[in-house]
Every structure is written in C-alpha cells, then in structure tokens.
C-alpha cells in the first residue's frame, strides 16, 4: 500500500510540475505578445500595421456606419428636446472632448507614434486642421440658411469634386463603369432626398463654398494615412488643436448669440456629453474608413446611410416618403452595390498614377487607395430635419 502511495505521489508531483511549466510558458508567451504589441505602437510603421490588421475596410466602414446611426439619435435629442441650437459650439465641444480623450490616451502611452516630422510638413497638418474647421462650419451655416433639399444637392456635388480634385492633384483616374455607378448613386440619392429646393443667394453661396473644403478634407485624411504612415488617432492628435482654434474663430460669426444663457443643468449637460463622446467615435471611425478605403468610397458610405435611414423609416416605422423617393433610394443602393462589386479584388480596371510615387518597372501590389478609388463621413455631426421622414438626419464632415 505504501508503494502505491509512493508511486502515486511521484506521478502527482510530475503532473503538477508539468502544469506549472505549461502555465509559465503561457505566461511568457502572453508577456511576449504584450511586449511586441507595445513595441509596435512605438513606431509609426508598426502602429500602421496594427491598424491595417485590425481595422480593414469592412470593419472600419461598419464601425463608422453604426456610430453614425447612434449619433443621429443623440443629436436629435440635443438639438431637439434639449434645444441646444448652437451647432458650431456643439462642434467645438465635440473636438475639445476628442482632444482631451487623445491627451488621456497619450498619458497612458496608448496613442500610436506619429511619423517623423520631416516626412510630413507642418503646413500639411495645419492645412488639414483648418480645412476641417471650415468644412464643418460652412456645413452648419448651409443647413441654417438652406432647405434640406438644397443642402443634399450640395452634398451630392462632393463626389464629382473629389474625383476631379484627385485627378488634378494626383493624376488619379477611375474607369468609366465606376463613373456610371457613381452617377446612378448620385441621381438616386437626389431623387430620394431632394424634395424641396428653396433658394436664397447667401445660402447658395455658402453651400457652394462648402463643397471644396469638404472634398479636400476627405482627400487629405485618406492620402496622409495611406502615403505617410499616419494612423487615425495619431493624425487626430496632431490636427485637432488647429481645428479647435479655427472653430473658436468661426463661432462668433456663425452661431447665434445666447450660448451663455443656455440652461446647463445635469440632464442637458449629460446629453451634450454623450453626443460629444459619440462625435469622437464618429471622427475616429471615419478616419479609419478613409485610411482603409478612399475619399470617394467614404462619400458613397455617407449616401448609403441616408438611403438606409429613409428605407428603414418606411419599413420599420411606417413613414411614407413617397413612391418616387423609395425608387430613388433603391436605385442608389443598386448603384452602390455595383460600385462595391467593381472595387472587389481583381475587378478594378482603373489606371492610376501618382505624382508622389516613383515609377516602378516591376510589378507591385496596388495600395488600398488605388484599388478602391473612392467613405459616411467623419468628424463633426450636423443635424437637420428631413421632411420625408420627420426624423433627424446627419451630415458628417471629415
């Protein structure tokens, strides 16, 4: 009996030692993985690889889509029930909260490393921050002085502006089939959403002035991430201070007076804070989508959100936007499906060249920006009331 106990005790000790050894190996592997991930974030190239690994086009655009739906509800609460009718100041709150969160991430060493300063001129970062502030400010002013239909027409005009700007700046061209698909998308969205075209000169001038900053903003976000190894968070950290500065300058000109008289109680302040947190997520997800796809695709995603809201209101809530509007939304979704199919690997027949890249005599894989010529939208959320749905829709500005 003592011999059996002795043998059993030895086996037990061997089993425990083997378990301890396995646990130690698992702990070492976990520590090595953690150390590797931490070291990856300490270089801009490593951080970019991690962003591409975990936030591909599908993940980034899905993230942007669902956050946009959430902020629609939050901003409907803030601008409607709460009665906070200061869109530029709300935009300023969004970017200020984003800046504070990014500073917190940086203090914990969670913010990805930026590329060396010599690779990206200061003027590029300053220009992006300034363009973002002007794009969001002019968008708010356009919504204030124009009907929803006229604003939507201006928004649709962003797509051809991006295509033209990328051709002028980077000699980037897209195939005729994609042009036709984008034309169907734009026409369908116009039919679905443009129900009134009330015109006034000042509002029209503001709407036209907004188109170019909005297009350039998206192009810069996409180009800097894809060509200069910037991650979304690192680029947000560098450009947000400039955006805050220019929004402070624009607020006295574009917002109505009386912001200090607003009732800043706990309920109202909480609603505004939730909107600001969702605004940060929207800006981040939009930047991820622009880095993973391109400016044109980001605009198409924004138009997709508009159509889904319209059709969702009809199917789920029983709203009646009208037969013509429904047909327009369905046609737009069909055009988006064709455009997405054309962007699948092996389907692209675009011929692209960039002034920034040296000519190569060997076959190289196309960057994502070239395989997918064209993103919802990021940054600030502007709220307007859609007469078709009697609900709130948003226009998100990169």
| pLDDT tens for each residue of 151-183 | 777 888 888 888 888 888 888 888 888 889 888
Q: Would you place residue 368 in the very low, low, confident or very high pLDDT band (cuts 50, 70, 90)?
A: very low
Which of the residue ranges 29-43, 79-93, 167-181, 349-363 would you say has the lowest mean pLDDT?
349-363
Q: Using CA atoms in the order 388, 394, 397, 398, what is the torsion angle rounded to 10 degrees?
A: -120
CA angle 124, 250, 225 (to 5 degrees): 25
Q: What is d(CA 198, CA 22) in angstroms, rounded to the nearest whole number?
A: 72
- In this prediction, residue 248 carries a pLDDT of 93
- In this prediction, residue 281 carries a pLDDT of 93
Contact 230, 48 (CB under 8 A): yes
For the chain, percent of residues with pLDDT exceeding 90: 12
- The residue written with tokens 């935009």 in the block is 91
- In this prediction, residue 95 carries a pLDDT of 93
Smallest CA-to-CA distance from 387 within 210, 192, 185 is with 192
Q: Would you place residue 237 in the very low, low, confident or very high pLDDT band (cuts 50, 70, 90)?
A: very high
Contacts of 89 (CB under 8 A, 6+ apart): 251, 255, 259
Q: Using CA atoms in the order 294, 303, 396, 325, what is the torsion angle rounded to 10 degrees?
A: 170
Q: What is d(CA 156, CA 81) in angstroms, rounded to the nearest whole number?
A: 29
Contact 74, 274 (CB under 8 A): yes
Q: Would you place residue 102 in the very low, low, confident or very high pLDDT band (cuts 50, 70, 90)?
A: very high
Q: Which residue has the higher pLDDT, 296 or 387?
A: 296
Q: Which residue has the higher pLDDT, 44 or 363?
A: 44
3-class state of residue 127 by DSSP = helix
- In this prediction, residue 239 carries a pLDDT of 93
Contact 277, 204 (CB under 8 A): no
Contacts of 102 (CB under 8 A, 6+ apart): 111, 233, 236, 237, 240
Q: pLDDT tens, 52-93?
A: 677 778 888 888 888 887 877 787 778 778 888 888 898 899
- Summarize the confidence of residues 24-46 as an average pLDDT: 62
Smallest CA-to-CA distance from 310 within 326, 332, 334 is with 326
Taking the model in full, what pTM does it have?
Answer: 0.70
Chain mean pLDDT for the chain? 75
């Amino acid at each position: 009996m003592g011999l059996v106990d002795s043998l059993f005790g030895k086996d037990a000790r061997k089993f425990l030692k083997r378990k301890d050894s396995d646990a130690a190996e698992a702990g070492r592997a976990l520590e090595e993985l953690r150390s590797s991930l931490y070291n990856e974030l300490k270089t801009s190239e490593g951080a970019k690889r991690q962003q591409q690994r975990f936030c591909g086009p599908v993940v980034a655009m899905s993230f942007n889509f669902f956050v946009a739906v959430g902020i629609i509800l939050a901003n409907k609460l803030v601008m409607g029930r709460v009665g906070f009718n200061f869109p530029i100041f709300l935009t300023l709150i969004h970017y200020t909260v984003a800046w504070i969160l990014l500073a917190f991430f940086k203090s914990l060493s969670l913010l990805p490393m930026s590329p060396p300063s010599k690779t990206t001129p200061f003027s590029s970062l300053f220009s992006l921050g300034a363009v973002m502030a002007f794009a969001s400010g002019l968008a708010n002013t356009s919504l204030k002085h124009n009907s929803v239909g006229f604003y939507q027409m201006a928004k649709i005009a962003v797509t051809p502006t991006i295509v033209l700007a990328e051709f002028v700046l980077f000699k980037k061209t897209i195939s005729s089939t994609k042009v036709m698909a984008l034309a169907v998308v734009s026409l369908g969205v116009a039919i679905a959403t443009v129900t009134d075209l009330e015109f006034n000169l000042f509002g029209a001038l503001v709407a036209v002035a907004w188109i170019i900053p909005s297009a350039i903003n998206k192009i810069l976000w996409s180009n800097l991430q894809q060509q200069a190894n910037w991650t979304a968070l690192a680029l947000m950290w560098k450009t947000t201070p400039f955006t805050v500065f220019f929004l402070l300058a624009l607020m006295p000109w574009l917002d109505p007076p009386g912001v200090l008289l607003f009732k800043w109680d706990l309920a109202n302040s909480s609603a505004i804070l939730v909107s600001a947190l969702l605004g940060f997520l929207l800006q981040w997800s939009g930047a991820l989508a622009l880095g993973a796809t391109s400016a044109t695709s980001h605009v198409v995603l924004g138009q997709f959100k508009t159509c889904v809201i319209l059709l969702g209101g009809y199917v789920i809530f029983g709203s009646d936007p009208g037969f013509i509007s429904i047909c327009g939304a369905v046609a737009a979704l069909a055009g988006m499906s064709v455009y997405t199919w054309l962007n699948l690997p092996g389907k692209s027949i675009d011929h692209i060249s960039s002034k920034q890249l040296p000519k190569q005599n060997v076959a190289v894989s196309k960057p994502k920006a070239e395989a997918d010529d064209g993103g919802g939208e990021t940054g600030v959320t502007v709220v307007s009331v859609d007469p078709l749905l009697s609900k709130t829709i948003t226009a998100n500005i990169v």
